[in-house]
Amino acid sequence: MTVNNAVSAMAGVIVMISLLLGSEVITSAFFHNSNWLWLTGFVGFNLLQSAFTGFCPANMFFKAIGLKD
């Protein structure tokens, strides 16, 4: 797996989890909270800024653990 694939996979997993936690599917008060959607917004913003600046903390993390470019 390459660094770019790992970043895309991680972003997708975090978005899906935060959408699930913010939805009405789970009825617990902790999980059914619209504040979880801020996590989705943060991931989207990070992806957008990394497209323009080239700086991505997840990219640096995956390089540090040994994934190839």
Tell me the pLDDT band of 26, cut-offs 50, 70 and 90.
low
pLDDT beyond 90 at 9: yes
Predicted structure pTM score: 0.82
Distance between CA atoms of 14 and 12, rounded to whole angstroms? 6
Domain ranges in the chain are: 3-64
pLDDT at 29: 58
Distance between CA atoms of 9 and 67, rounded to whole angstroms? 13
Q: At what angle do helices 3-22 and 57-64 cross, to 10 degrees?
A: 120
What confidence tens digit (pLDDT) does each residue in 31-61 have? Answer: 677 888 899 999 999 999 999 999 999 999 9
